[in-house]
Amino acid sequence: MKIAMMTTWYPPIIVGSGNRFYEIARRLSRKHEVHVYTVGMGDYFGEEIINGVHVHRFCKFNPSKSIEMGSFLLNLKFSLHVLKSTHRLKDFDIIDCNIVSKTLPYVSYIISKFTDIPLIETWHEVWHKQNLTRYNPVMAFPGFFMELFIPKLSDVNIAVSETTKRRLIDLLKVDPENVVVIPNGIDLRVFKQVSAKKKYGRILYAGRLESHKRVDVLIKAFGRLRKKFPETELVVVGTGPERTYLKRLSSNLNLNVKFLDPLPYKKLVELMKTSWIFVLPSIMEGQGIVLLEAMAAGTPPIAVKAEGSGVVDIIRDGYNGLLVLEKELEEGIERAIERMLVDEDLHTSLRRKGINFVKSYDWDKIVAKVLEVYEKVIK
């Protein structure tokens, strides 16, 4: 099978949606010919073969920019470059488009119709009315209306969570028969290879530093917790447009928050395993791969129950992690962290059940489900 995967984000750009395509592509490439069309960053540009995957990079992303608020022009330019490559795609068997752009799915549809190749769309989130607040004013309404028609362009829509599936059906009026849920996964072998000792009181966040991730709320909650639990520490791993503001906030609150650049994966896994608690204060997630990773590391996660966020499909409150309400964000995160610091039985229970929960989320199992959809659509 010859597979074309379209995605704005792909490593070395650290974004969950891009990581999904990376993990799937490199596994599919063991038996199939896989081509990924994406953007570049730094020295990663042009064409190369990585882990058996043919990677074609157009345009360059500035990592200091927001992947949501500041990437429309980049997505438009990238989509046009992909469109120019239509003649190179005519002998592919299937196209899988990562829905992280409003323009790329339309270009993928044009290529699909011109070449008569089936089109799959992979959905992480459905923004709907959130387009009006998460985009700049110029793109808010176009973004809203463009999204309405995107799922109608594909042969099959893959949703990474039940929440995303429900929003596709309820908000974008997609036929339920045309949506299949295939979650994100993790590489369990890596977690088994890395050993590390837990450090009581270490609180970890890892991910992009974007405004909707609400890392500022975590820092403020940590500031109050330090007064009760002076042995606690906060480690923030990641980069993004909010980093300067977050470091300044920490300084203003007289907090010694440790900020780290993105780490090699095994180093990140090691840090996760040493951490006592993982906190994802984001108010919008398609699913949250990092929550699965935290569970695999035996580090109980805390996340936010917010409208449209798929974390509720991963965390069962009080079973394998804790959920806080968006309307009680700062106080809720503080209380949840404190519970894990003082209740050793709760912490132990969440750890054990989390490790058991992620066993069905191994990437090899996820890829088998994706391939099954591809083969069904082609036939």
| CATH (domain of 301) | 3.40.50.2000
Asked if 172 and 197 sit in the same domain, the reply is no
DSSP states of 256-325? --EEEPPPPHHHHHHHHHH-SEEEE--S--SS-HHHHHHHHTT--EEEEE-TT-GGGGT--BTTTBEEEE
Asked whether residue 217 falls in the same domain as residue 169, the answer is: no
Can you point out the beta strands (E) in the chain? 2-6, 33-40, 46-50, 53-60, 94-99, 119-123, 156-159, 179-181, 202-206, 233-237, 258-260, 277-280, 301-305, 322-325
Of the listed ranges 57-71, 232-246, 294-308, 352-366, the least confidently predicted one is: 57-71
Question: Does residue 295 have a pLDDT over 80?
Answer: yes
Query: Quick one: 71 and 120 in the same domain?
Result: yes
Whether residues 16 and 165 fall in one domain: yes
Query: Quick one: pLDDT at residue 135?
Result: 65
Residue 67 pLDDT > 70: no
What is the per-residue pLDDT across 357-378, written as a single tens digit (0 to 9) for each? 999 999 999 999 999 999 999 9
Query: From CA 236, how far away is CA 360, in angstroms rounded?
Result: 28
Amino acid, single-letter form, for residue 308 = G
For residues 343-366, average pLDDT:
95
Asked whether residue 167 falls in the same domain as residue 210, the answer is no
Whether the predicted pLDDT of 131 surpasses 70: no
pLDDT in tens, 219-273: 999 999 999 999 999 999 999 899 999 999 999 999 999 999 999 999 999 999 9
Task: Judge if 246 and 178 occupy the same domain.
Answer: no
Rounded average pLDDT over 1-18: 91
114 with 25, same domain: the answer is yes
Residues 200 and 177 in one domain: no
Number of domains in the chain: 2
Q: What is the DSSP letter of 186?
A: B
DSSP structure class, residue 333:
H
From the number of C-beta atoms within 10 Å of its C-beta (0-12, 13-18, 19+), residue 87 rates as exposed
pLDDT in the model for residue 70: 58
> Is residue 121 scored above 70 in pLDDT?
yes
> How far is CA 56 from its chain centroid?
21
Q: Within this chain, do residues 132 and 274 fall inside the same structural domain, yes or no?
A: no
Burial environment of residue 139 by CB neighbours within 10 A (0 to 12, 13 to 18, 19 or more): middle
pTM of the model: 0.86
In a shared domain, residues 356 and 366: no
Statement to judge: residues 254 and 180 lie in one domain:
no
Which residues span the domain enclosing 230?
Answer: 188-361
- Determine contact, residues 120/156, Cβ cutoff 8 Å: yes
For the residues 57-67, what does the mean pLDDT come to?
Answer: 80
**Confidence label for 127 from pLDDT (cuts 50, 70 and 90):** confident
Q: How far apart are CA 238 and CA 223, in angstroms?
A: 20
| Range 101-112 burial, b when 16+ CB lie within 10 A, else e | bbbbbbbbbebb
**Displacement of CA 119 from its chain's centroid (Å):** 22
* 286 contacts 310 by C-beta, under 8 angstroms: yes
Instruction: Tell me, yes or no, whether 368 and 322 share the same domain.
Output: no
